[in-house]
Amino acid sequence: MNCIFGIDIGGTEIKIGKFHYDKLLLKTSIKTDVSDQGKRILADVFNKIDELSQGDNIVGIGVGVPGPVVKGVVNGCQNLGWGIVEAEAIIKERYPDARVRVLNDANVAAIGEMAAGSAQKYRDFVMVTLGTGIGGGIVINGEVYEGATGAGGEIGHIQILNAKQRRCNCGKFDCFEKYASATGLVTTALELMQGRETKLHDLEVSSKNIFDLAKTGDEVALAAVNQMVDVLAGTLGNIAAALNPEAFVIGGGVSKAGSFLLDKLVAKFREVAFYPVADTEFVLASLGNDAGIYGAAYVARK
């Protein structure tokens, strides 16, 4: 039987899916060994592939990595300890008969949603991953847009001009993700709750708790969510003015707030966006943590 491996390498674990065409046969994960500049990571992956293939004919291997990638070459990957790694060539050398593709993890997640998730009807869309930070994947004509140096889709580092309040890890101030990620929402709530009555004083101030309280009408929690939505709608409106995608696909941990978040976001977006792009569609991502393996398998198949 022909099989394809879809692999999503993260900083703590590596998810591996074995596919027959587009059907996921099994999935598993191994720990990411980041010691010694992560030099055993690919060998560990190869061992697991060999174990799982069980004599099946490996026709494709797709891999997502948490760093910039241009044409199969990883251009530095802090979470793995990698510098420049010619990952696609290394994998191809070990599996010469397989179609091999290596892409950025946010980009394969976007492709995963197109292949098997909620973006199946789109070919031009932007995936927005709202987690600790904000990641992005731009899909144009059904293909990942990597950018000139692999930084395509790094929308979390769009700067909110004229603000100058919150310093980002990237060294600049007021990046999008300092306001509209889970972390940004928490920062806003911590600012707003000073001296005001809110159930947040009795709870851990987490993104989930803020959303849960906002749903019950807690004024401070609601104000924090609304500020997040304002920045999210404004910035996605700006991305839409430049890129005019068919849709935004909203994923990541924060997207678990579901329709409460999405309804607010869509309403605000319709209000603030440039009129020719104000009808851009919005959907919630549906594959969660499996988007990467689906996307990786897809790019190795096409």
- Give the amino acid at 217: G
Our CB check for a copy of itself shows the closer of 6 and 67 to be 67
As measured in angstroms, the least distance from the Cβ of 155 to a copy of itself is 5
Q: Residue 62 or residue 68: which is nearer to a copy of itself going by CB?
A: 68
Nearer to a copy of itself, 1 or 241 (CB): 241
Residue numbers at the binding site for a copy of itself (CB under 8 A): 68, 124, 136, 138, 140, 145-155, 157-163, 170-172, 175, 231, 234-235, 237-239, 241-246, 272, 274-277, 279-280
**What is the side-by-side order of every strand in the sheet holding 82-85?**
69-70, 73-77, 82-85
Is the Cβ of residue 52 or residue 273 nearer to a copy of itself in the bound state?
273
C-alpha 229/C-alpha 185 separation (Å) is 10
Cβ proximity of 262 and 268 under 8 Å: no
Q: Is the Cβ of residue 155 or residue 221 nearer to a copy of itself in the bound state?
A: 155
Per-residue CA distances from 157 to 58, 174, 180, 193 (Å): 38, 8, 11, 26
Q: What does the DSSP 8-state code read for residue 58?
A: E
Min CB(25)–a copy of itself separation in Å? 34
Nearer residue to a copy of itself within complex by CB, 30 or 170: 170
The three-state secondary structure class of 75 is strand
Choose between 26 and 148: whose C-beta lies nearer to a copy of itself.
148
First to last CA, the chain: 18
CB of 125 to a copy of itself, least distance (A): 9
271 close to 88: Cβ distance less than 8 angstroms: no
Query: Minimal distance in Å, beta carbon 183 to a copy of itself?
Result: 17
Cβ 72 to a copy of itself, closest distance in Å? 16
At its nearest, how many Å lie between a copy of itself and the CB of residue 142? 13
* DSSP structure string for 78-134: GGGTEEEE-HHHHHHHHSTTSEEEEEEHHHHHHHHHHHHSTTTT-SSEEEEEESSSE
Closest distance of CB 36 from a copy of itself, Å = 25
Burial (CB count <10 Å: 0-12, 13-18, 19+), residue 70: middle
In angstroms, the CA 15 to CA 289 distance is 9
| Cβ closest to a copy of itself, residue 64 vs residue 150 | 150
Least distance CB 277 / a copy of itself (angstroms):
5
| Whether the Cβ atoms of residue 3 and residue 58 lie closer than 8 Å to each other | yes
